[in-house]
Amino acid sequence: MARKEFIGLSIETERIRLARIRTSKREIELLEVDTIHLPKPVLSQRQAEINQQDFSGDYDAIFDTETQGSSSSLDDLDDLDSIDFDDTSTSGAKTADEDFDMTKEPDNVAEENEQMLALHLAKYSSSKLKFGLHVPFGKTTFQFLKNVDPSKMKKKDRKEYFEEKLFPIYTREVLDEHYAWMKTGENDCLLAYSPNELELLNLVELAETFSKKKLMVIDRQPDEALWVGLVRANYQLDDDEITCLIALGEKSSRIMFMKGTEIMNVLPIISEGEEEDQILNTIFSKILFEIDKGEVPKINRILLVRSGKKSSKAMSYFQKQFDDIEVNYLVLNSEKVTYADEILNSPEYLQPYISAIGAAWAASGVNDKAFGDFSLLPEYVREKQRVLKIEWHGIAILILIALTPLFINNLYFEKANELSQLEQEVSSMQAQIDELTPIANMTQDLITDFQVINAENNRLIELAEYSQKWSEVMRILNEGVSDIPSIWLTTLRTSGDHINLTGISLTREQIPVLAQLFSDANINQVSETEIRGQPVYSFSLQANNFRQDIDRFLLELPEFDFDSEFDSGDIPLDFSANPDEEFQPGTPITVTAPADQLNEPQITGQSPDVTEQSTLDEAISEAVQPLQTSAIAETAQSDDASSSELQQNSQINSAPAAVAETQNSPNSPYGLTGSQSELLFGAYTIVLHSTPLGNRAQEEQSNLREQGFISTLWQATLDDGSETWRVGVGQFETVDDALAAIPDLPEPYRSNNFIIRIR
């Protein structure tokens, strides 16, 4: 595989740091690092844009290079004062500000920064040089966005979201090339924004005009992203480890924290640098402050990622302050990076070149996942370099252009023949359309009539779905009330799927029996009153979701069985019901009405005398007659589709029904004990258990059978849609038969049961 070389550049006030690497497969070789001293300080972006308008004129006349050149040389001499000869490295390597090229004779007379850079790049033999650039640390602002995942947004929505976040802060137009983002954690985002720092990029573009080489900028990232990428690529990081990165500049400093491989926090830029004596104390206090706040629970490693004059002093200081934490320079892993010169193996010597090495590494694409997505390369640079790639295919494009007329001519004749055939087919098709148009119109009329009839038919089916609703309700009430003596109904109202009943009873015990006519009924109120000197009990009752007790009226269709759900074999189990929702009657019967709603204590005893009862029956019949009439009128208004049937069936039996004493024959399927018979739907049973667990229900049924009881087991659906398994004993024709059998049950079944119809 061919080896490729990449150059990383990082800029300082009056110098450029250069690092050149060579890649082969997944390996990196560090060839050299160098410092290019510039003849003048780097211009700001505004000044650079003015100078870029016309740089083909006389530079001596425009910039007065003779004067500036002399002052520049003096500035170079002034740089010697900044060298700290007393600060020596423990490893014996050169310090960061020592100019290892100062013994060479000056072989260039460049008077502009771009000329100096072009002269330095001329020594490389390759005709095309690939660069990775940096954005100086502190020139990029970082913002953590919580609970935001831009990868799930559309490109347009993501752009608008970032503009809304950045524009109110910086009050300037936000372009795509000004910001970059990276996902952190599962649903968070780190946004980097740097709109102005283009000096190094402009310098490289101007240098290309003075050079015979192609200078291609592959990548451009902030210093902070390059440091993080180098740490990821050269260190084995555990998920819970916290690494602190410290960078010392001439006039500013930066502190960052990483948790594992993710960026945890980027502290604001510190406006103190190596020129300040107290900078190390300031950094130490900043780290302690983050620990005290709880933002950083612990620190496992401290890495010095950039330093110059105070590299060795900073190392000693932090090792002393954090004696139980690993403190070291950011070093390159020898298994991933090889060196062309032994001097490059010194971490202290490489400190000023860390950003340049990271920029070259990021541009090479090796370990591209480690360096993330913080590329701030402008789009116009990418487009310019794409044009260079197209030139390789120029010959192929010319050949295709030459062959295009022949291809178009051949395609023209093919399409002309195809068009002629299509015109003939269109003429034939038009004749068929004219012939079939009357039939199509007739068919359309029939379809319209069919749609009208079908709509009417659907409406009739919808109206007939519950047309027998009130007939069925009245049948349940009439049949049930006929078995309950000395009870009268005065009003019947509906509210949605609920029925509200009020009435009068001679005894309190009869009221819960009436509630058993429905699967889910609540006794709202029972109060004692007098009619003609005879104490009676007025009550109000609500039947919840009465539709579960009636069958919908459906049209009889061929091969349709209304009882298919009971004969279908296995029933799918869904044990999601809550047994606490079932009403638990007591002895002899108890309904799930709140205890505090019963105004009077329950009265037990014998029924009143027959003569007194007959006289009282006549009085109550006269008292409730007008109430029955109003109840029928109110019920008729609640359902327009079944009003006529409701009026015909709303005459409630006002006379008390006699209790029929039934004796079961030996072969009768009804009774409390005996041999197990089939499950009789519609019969009454005494429920002892209600559980969502099918296995538990089967075990209870087996226990009851072993005790000689006729055990019943079926699945019921509650109001909330959940299903439960009910285990009962006995099957009875009437509620009175079931009440009479309760005293024969052993404890605790005798005092903990309720009666219900099997459905």
Q: What is the pLDDT of residues 178-190, one digit of tens each?
A: 888 888 877 888 8
Taking only Cα atoms into account, the Rg of the chain, rounded to an integer number of angstroms, comes to 47
Range of the domain at 293: 236-332
In a domain, 456, yes or no: no
Residues 6+ apart with CB under 8 A from 347: 328, 329, 330, 331
- CATH number, position 665: 3.30.70.1070
Any domain includes 643: yes
Same domain, 602 and 493: yes
How far, in Å, CA of 707 to CA of 184, rounded?
67
CA atoms within 13 A on the CB side of 393: 7
Using 50, 70 and 90 to split pLDDT, how confident is the model at 531? confident
Q: At 412, is the pLDDT very low, low, confident or very high (cuts 50, 70, 90)?
A: very high
Q: How confident is the model at residue 2 (pLDDT cuts 50, 70, 90)?
A: low
Distances (CA, A) of 739 to 120, 388, 648: 109, 98, 32
- Averaged pLDDT score across all residues of the chain: 75
**58 vs 472, residue with greater confidence:** 472
What is the arithmetic mean of pLDDT over 479-499? 85
pLDDT above 70 coverage of the chain, percent: 73
**Shared-domain flag, residues 688 and 719:** yes
At 574 the pLDDT is 41
**Mean pLDDT in residue range 162-189:** 82
Most confident of 293-297, 336-340, 354-358, 605-609: 354-358
Is the residue at 445 inside a domain? Answer: no
Task: With respect to residue 439, please indicate whether it lies within any of the assigned structural domains.
Answer: no
Cβ–Cβ contacts within 10 Å for residue 168, how many?
A: 8
If asked whether residues 11 and 129 sit together in one domain, one would say yes
Q: In this predicted structure, what is the pLDDT of residue 153?
A: 87
Lowest mean per-residue pLDDT among 367-376, 388-397, 524-533, 646-655? 646-655
pLDDT of residue 243: 93
**Does 706 lie in the same domain as 647?**
no
Average pLDDT (69-92) is: 37
Interatomic CA distance for residues 365 and 229, integer angstroms:
12
Tell whether 130 and 65 lie within a shared domain: yes
pLDDT for 167: 81
Global pTM value: 0.47
Q: Identify whether residues 650 and 673 lie together within a single domain.
A: no
In a domain, 383, yes or no: no
Asked if residue 480 belongs to a domain, the reply is yes
603 and 518 housed in the same domain: yes
When pLDDT is averaged across residues 343-371 and rounded to a whole number, the result is 88
Whether residue 388 is predicted with pLDDT greater than 60 in this model: the reply is: no
pLDDT at 159: 86
Per-residue pLDDT, 588: 35
Q: Which of 658, 679, 707 is the last residue of a domain?
A: 658
Region class of 682: left (phi > 0), else alpha (psi between -120 and 50), else beta:
left
Same domain, yes or no: 34 and 53: yes
Give the tens place of pLDDT for each residue, 582-631.
433 333 333 333 333 333 333 333 333 433 444 445 544 554 444 443 33
At 306-328, the pLDDT tens digits run 888 888 899 999 999 998 899 99
CA 623 from chain centre, in angstroms, equals: 65
The kind and range of the H/E element at 110 are: none
pLDDT of residue 473: 78
Query: Are 483 and 628 part of one and the same domain?
Result: yes
Q: Check residues 718 and 432 and name the one with the higher pLDDT.
A: 432
Task: Report the alpha-carbon distance of residue 155 to residue 146 in Å, rounded.
Answer: 19
Quickly state the pLDDT bin for 714 (edges 50, 70, 90). Answer: confident
Instruction: With respect to residue 452, please indicate whether it lies within any of the assigned structural domains.
Output: no
Point out the domain boundary residue: 658, 693, 718: 658
User: Which range among 231-245, 248-262, 501-515, 619-633 shows the weakest confidence by mean pLDDT?
Assistant: 619-633
Q: Specify the higher pLDDT residue, 677 or 239.
A: 239
Give yes or no for a contact between 98 and 314, defined as CB atoms under 8 angstroms apart.
no
The reply to whether 318 falls in a domain is yes
Q: Are 31 and 361 in contact (CB under 8 A)?
A: no
Who's near 194: CB < 8 A, 6+ residues apart? 135, 139, 140, 141, 178, 179, 222, 376
- 554-584 confidence digits (pLDDT tens): 555 444 343 433 343 343 434 343 444 443 3
Examine the domain organization and report whether 150 and 130 are in the same domain.
no
Using an 8 Å Cβ cutoff, are 193 and 141 in contact? yes
- The pLDDT score that the predictor gives to residue 105 is 41
Q: 3-state DSSP: the chain helix, strand, coil percent, rounded to 5?
A: 40, 20, 35
**For position 276, which CATH number holds?**
3.30.420.60
Q: pLDDT for 5-53, tens place per residue? A: 999 999 988 899 999 999 887 788 899 999 999 888 875 554 444 444 4
What total number of domains does the chain contain?
A: 5
- Give the least confident one: 52-56, 445-449, 469-473, 678-682: 52-56
Statement to judge: residues 101 and 209 lie in one domain: yes
340 and 361 inside one domain: yes
Residue 252 in this model has a pLDDT that exceeds 70: yes
Last residue of a domain, one of 620, 640, 658: 658
Residue 694 banded pLDDT, cuts 50, 70, 90 = confident
pLDDT reported for residue 549: 63
Q: Which of 272-286, 372-386, 575-589 has the highest mean pLDDT?
A: 272-286
Q: Are 196 and 222 in contact (CB under 8 A)?
A: no
Alpha helix ranges (H) inside 350-468: 354-364, 379-390, 394-464
Mean pLDDT along residues 453-476: 78
Q: What is the pLDDT of residue 639?
A: 41
* pLDDT(489) > 50: yes
